[in-house]
Chains A and B, each alone.
Chain A
């Protein structure tokens, strides 16, 4: 990279000769400039050499275009023609009357934070997560229903928006006049043409009385800012334009926390926000712009060409202290971590707009992890690729970026932040928790296997999966540990521990295996199944074949009086085969064989038809389940996604479960598919090949389709006298607060017949721990199938039950340990840095021998080999990085001590209160004794 690389560039600066050279080579110079360049070339050897290099590169680029089809396949053209015929002459959706779109504040799943707008120039910048799954796990939806303490009736005027004058919000305002901004009108809205945007911003008058900016920081008028458009066309348009504005912004505010990955939104109405925002899985960061010149310049350098003169000055904003605070990413994050009640109330998570929490209950911060924070790609690393012009960029565990001074800021403990959350914020990995500060580990069970299969697909292709796609718990749960089945209860719990051989410090590894009871195949309830099959064009070939094969496998497993129905979807949903008893196998197989492909992907309609079909045969005594098979539904518009998820959830509550199968998605992690399974009380599987299909649909047929226990939650309690620190491996985004353990409205995982749920902990024991002492108590809580009340059991384990030597532990524990270690290595977890690779490889080899009957274990060994060949070894870092590490650790230690101190202070307060109360009581007593 050039030394003078700048993220942005100043229009006013003369392009360098090098830049002119590029322009010249591409034929974009005028004569005069061309002459200059040629003159320079004649005189300068280096420049000539560069010219040759550039020409070579250009030549290579021209050769390197991938083969693209010259035209759409005939079926697709036909499909388009058919659509065109149907739609020709019909009014486009732009012109839909205002009445049909419900005002945003009435939309069922929406409250405000859908994010908004930037009046008064506050613009939210999003920083996209580096991992989608982070956003989409149950509970946390970057674009989902936002929870806010504020009344959802806040109008635009509350936001300090006085509106452009002379605009009458009329229902007849036709979008045929783009650029018109109509406050309060839920329709129109394309005011995002660049010039129009600047005009518009220029016209906003700040209304101090409204308290804009006075509420929870990071937000204007209490609303969080996000992106929204009113319909897809506008979405694309608007996005392009806002990106353009961002470009300009970047040019003028070089020191801001802006990277190429930021996107932002300028929109005018919450309706706009509502329908568009979910398109982009971005996180909100805040930034405030000075809107005096259309929002994209600093006072000292007015934007060239912007209608600065027409902008009304924004009074009061600069003086608003909240606004200053909002320049810090800290402020917004405090809000994101705010309002504990929002964490509990809204199990589906979402933005935490609004209320500044006076007190951040420690548990609730951790609860955020359950809402999707599984750690972005940063993990505290320096972003060496995108160094800002003026220094360094560090990426934290959430994938957020910090420049320069902000780096130091982000290292500081946030108010009342728990050290374990701080660690997570640094690295994106679970911390080793000091037991005295928190003795309880609570999490929701998970039996998805998608992450393992997906990671395998990446490795097969020679790539390392992104951190957020590698979920340690799914690596743990992928295997069949051959645990003895539960006989009396729904679940049997096994615990085993031994020295943790991968750890560099002497630690113990505690394994907890939960085995579900097995329903015998002939004792299972009858099933009503409906398959909803994606038949869009991209499914053509192997993928559809895989689905067909999978269906044949299922038909073979089903019994005569089970019913099976088939729904397909491309651009629309279709009924392929009405639900019929499986005894009519011939009809079913014929339907399967007739599956063809072509068209687009309308999962919403497919699911709707599928559910309808199930409704018709619904029988409370049977298993009623919809199974969606697709190679990716990520294209579904976000508004639709929200609607579909809500629908799926209510169906699950009405006892129709949904399982999702991702088919041949290549390297793509389809988070929407997983969300669907989460909300649908089912599991999500990734079928990369026939073997996996067989594993999921034949070998684990009962496990996949027959639920044995719902809402399974697990809590492990450690005794601070025995365990000094504990660290859970995995379940980062399945974790729950201690309070949520007994809250039966909180959705957890469903476990099928014979399935295993495995958890691992790494423990630092206190020296001289007594053999009789309790090491850990495991509590299980679940709702048995067919029941409505939760059931709870607990299981203790003593120190004495730990095995003394690693080599003597069972092959089950060792398999779990090796699988988890692979996951940690792939995730480049902080804890696995510099771990012994040869040891991992040799342990895997040993296991492959011991588990001969399970080819999956041999495959695990191969995956480990591949991983080692793809990942560079952890290298000793330079001085700067080491220093950063030390600073982090100092901050963490400090936080721990402070937290203990705070705990003590609280106790002191309590004690003091008690003393006073006692004194008062004694006084009263004395009075009575003395007959007064």
Chain B
């Protein structure tokens, strides 16, 4: 869902227009371009690969049927991200969110790289606290840390001000730090 595109490739807007004009292959390119980041994001929320794939597939189906109007240089990233997020939340439903706020959620396997200093328990704790972050904070932080987007890009994606992004991330980091300190994990 990065808004960046490499050099000479056509922008999403152009691809989408081509598709609507009859070029089915153009759509495939869109899928190719965005699927990885959408899958990452969806998995971070629903914590299950199959469900995440379900969701991402649905996102693309919606793009197909009721996609946004884009200028030729526009990216579909924002739109895709929003649809994906909303679908993921719908899937998770209210009580799961409530649950996430109050209880533990089984945390999906975390990537444990070669750095063996990362204690499994600490990672689990991080995972749990992550789940308990308020949605908006979590999203902003996710986009920064895992997708490497700039505040400006995040602001565009979430349709908020860059200043708000900074604040959200700050709040999120605050919470995490406090909780981890309490648990003496850091």
Q: Residues of A with Cβ closer than 8 Å to B?
A: 1-2, 5, 9, 11, 15, 18-19, 22-23, 26, 28, 50, 53-54, 56-58, 60-73, 76-77, 79-81, 83-85, 87-89, 91-94, 128-132, 175-176, 178, 194, 231-233, 235-237, 239-241, 243-244, 247, 260, 279, 281, 377, 385, 461-464, 466, 468-469, 536-538, 540-541, 571, 599-601, 632, 634-635, 666-671
Q: Is the C-beta of B4 less than 8 angstroms from some C-beta in chain A?
A: no
- 18 A-B pairs (CB sep. < 8 Å): A22-B170, A28-B150, A60-B123, A60-B186, A61-B141, A61-B145, A66-B111, A68-B36, A68-B44, A72-B39, A92-B67, A129-B94, A247-B136, A385-B102, A537-B54, A571-B61, A601-B58, A635-B87
* Shortest distance between the CB of A383 and any CB in chain B (Å): 10
Q: A84-B24, A88-B20 are in contact. List 14 more A-B contacts (CB 8 A).
A: A1-B174, A18-B170, A18-B174, A88-B23, A131-B94, A131-B95, A233-B83, A237-B79, A469-B95, A537-B53, A538-B48, A538-B54, A571-B61, A671-B93
Which of A19, A68, A600 has a CB less than 8 Å from the CB of B52? A68
Question: A723: shortest Cβ distance to chain B, in Å?
Answer: 35
Separation in Å of the B162 CB from the closest CB of chain A?
Answer: 9
B69: chain A residues at CB < 8 Å are: 94, 175-176, 178
From A23, A63, A76, A541, B53 is in contact (CB under 8 Å) with: A76
The complex places the Cα of A399 from the Cα of B33 at a distance, in Å, of 42
Q: Name, among A377, A538, A541, A601, the residue most crowded by chain B CB atoms within 10 Å (CB to CB).
A: A538
Contact A54 B110 (CB under 8 A): no
Query: Is B35's beta carbon under 8 Å from chain A?
Result: yes
Task: Please determine whether B64 and A279 come into contact, CB atoms closer than 8 angstroms.
Answer: no
CA distance A54 to B172 in the complex (A): 11
Residues of B within 8 A of A (CB): 19-24, 27-28, 31, 35-36, 39-40, 42-44, 47-54, 56-58, 60-62, 64-69, 79, 82-83, 86-87, 90-96, 98-99, 101-113, 115, 118, 122-123, 126-127, 130, 134-136, 141, 144-146, 150-151, 158-161, 163-164, 166-167, 169-171, 173-178, 180-181, 186
- Give the nearest-CB partner of B78 in chain A: A240
A247 in contact with B160 (CB, 8 Å): yes
Contacts of A91 in B (CB 8 A): 20
* Cα distance, A67 to B57, chains bound together (Å): 18
CA distance A666 to B106 in the complex (A): 11
Nearest 6 Cβ contacts at the A-B interface: A89-B22, A66-B108, A68-B43, A88-B24, A233-B66, A84-B27
Instruction: Report whether B145 and A63 are in contact in the complex, using a CB–CB cutoff of 8 Å.
Output: no
Given contacts A68-B49, A89-B20, contact A667 B57 (CB under 8 A): no
One of A18, A58, A71, A81 near B28 (C-beta < 8 A):
A81
Most-contacted residue by chain A among B23, B44, B145, B170 (CB, 10 A)? B170
A641 to chain B, nearest CB (A): 11
Are the C-beta atoms of A93 and B66 separated by less than 8 Å?
yes
Let me know if A87 and B65 touch, CB within 8 A. Answer: yes
The answer to whether A462 and B104 have CB atoms under 8 Å apart is yes
Point out the residue from A61, A243, A538, A634 that lies within 8 Å of B93, measured CB to CB.
A634
Which among A66, A71, A77 has the greatest number of chain B C-beta atoms within 10 A? A66
Q: A239 with B82: in contact, given A23-B166, A67-B43, A600-B58 (CB under 8 Å)? A: yes
Question: What's the nearest-Cβ distance from chain B to residue A732, in Å?
Answer: 16
Which of A5, A53, A67, A233 is B111 in contact with, Cβ under 8 Å? A67
Of B98, B113, B161, which is within 8 A of A11 by CB? Answer: B161
**Chain B positions within 8 Å of A468 at CB level:** 95
On whether the beta carbons of A634 and B91 are closer than 8 Å, the reply is yes
Residues of B within 8 A of A85 (CB): 24
B108 contact from A54, A67, A132, A237, Cβ within 8 A: A67
B176 touches A61 (CB 8 A): yes
Bound CA–CA A461/B144 (angstroms): 31
Closest to A83 in B: B64
Check if A64 sits within 8 Å of B110, measured CB to CB.
yes
What residues of chain A lie closer than 8 Å to B136, measured between beta carbons? Answer: 243, 247, 260
Contact among B95, B109, B118, B150 for A130, CB-based, below 8 A: B95
Closest to A27 in B: B150
With A58-B145, A600-B57, A634-B90 as known contacts, state yes or no: A244 contacts B159, CB within 8 Å. Answer: yes
* Closest CB in chain B relative to A669 CB, distance in Å: 6
Give every chain A residue within 8 A of B177 (Cβ-Cβ).
Answer: 50, 53-54, 57
Give the residues in chain A near B104, CB-CB below 8 Å.
462-463
Q: Which of A64, A240, A538 contacts B130 (CB 8 A)?
A: A64
A60 to B108 alpha-carbon distance, docked (Å): 15
User: A57 is contacted by which of B20, B28, B151, B186 (Cβ under 8 Å)?
Assistant: B186
Whether A1 pairs with B95 at a CB distance below 8 angstroms is no
Shortest Cβ gap from B27 to chain A (Å): 4
Q: In the complex, what distance in Å separates the CA atom of A464 from the CA atom of B95?
A: 11
Instruction: Tell whether, in the assembled complex, residue B64 and residue A1 are in contact, meaning their CB atoms are under 8 Å apart.
Output: no
> How far apart sit A274 and B115, CA to CA, in the bound complex (Å)?
53
Chain A residue numbers with a CB within 8 Å of B86 are 235-236, 239-240
Q: Is the CB of A72 within 8 A of B64?
A: no
Residues of B within 8 A of A93 (CB): 65-66
Which of these, A72, A279, A632, contacts B35 with CB under 8 Å?
A: A72
Q: How far is the CB of A72 from chain B (nearest CB, A)?
A: 6
A66-B110, A92-B65 known; A669 and B181 CB under 8 Å?
no
Report B-chain residues with C-beta under 8 Å of the C-beta of A469. 95
CB-CB under 8 A from A1, the residues of chain B are 174-175, 178
CA distance A449 to B5 in the complex (A): 52
**Which partner residue on chain B sits nearest A671 by CB separation?**
B93
Residue of A nearest to B180 (CB): A57
Given the interface pairs A76-B53, A194-B159, A540-B50, the reply to whether A88 lies near B79 with Cβ below 8 Å is no
Q: Is the CB of B36 within 8 A of A63?
A: no
Contact in complex: B58, A635 (CB < 8 Å): yes
In angstroms, Cα B55 to Cα A69, docked, is: 13
List chain B residues, Cβ under 8 A from A92. Answer: 20, 65-67
Question: Once the chains bind, are B109 and A63 in contact (CB under 8 Å)?
Answer: no
- Roughly how many angstroms separate A260 CA and B101 CA in the complex, as a whole number? 12
Write the chain B residue with the least CB distance to A26: B144
Complexed CA–CA distance, A15 and B174 (Å):
14
Query: Which residues from A are CB-within-8-Å of B141?
Result: 61
In the complex the two chains form, is B94's CB within 8 Å of A233's CB?
A: no
Docked-complex contact B82 and A15, CB < 8 angstroms: no
State how many angstroms separate the Cβ of A347 from the closest Cβ of chain B: 24
Q: Find out whether the CB atom of A63 lies under 8 angstroms from the CB atom of B112.
A: yes
Across-interface contacts of A94 in B (CB, < 8 A):
66, 69
Contact B146 A538 (CB under 8 A): no
List A contacts of B126 (CB < 8 A): 57, 60-61, 64
CB atoms of A466 and B99 under 8 A apart: yes
B122 CB to nearest chain A CB (Å): 7
Q: Which residues of chain A are near B27, meaning CB under 8 Å? A: 80, 84, 88
Given contacts A233-B62, A236-B82, A241-B159, contact A64 B94 (CB under 8 A): no
Known: A71-B35, A599-B57. A130 touches B94 (CB 8 A): yes
Q: How far is the CA of A66 from the CA of B123 in the complex (A)?
A: 11
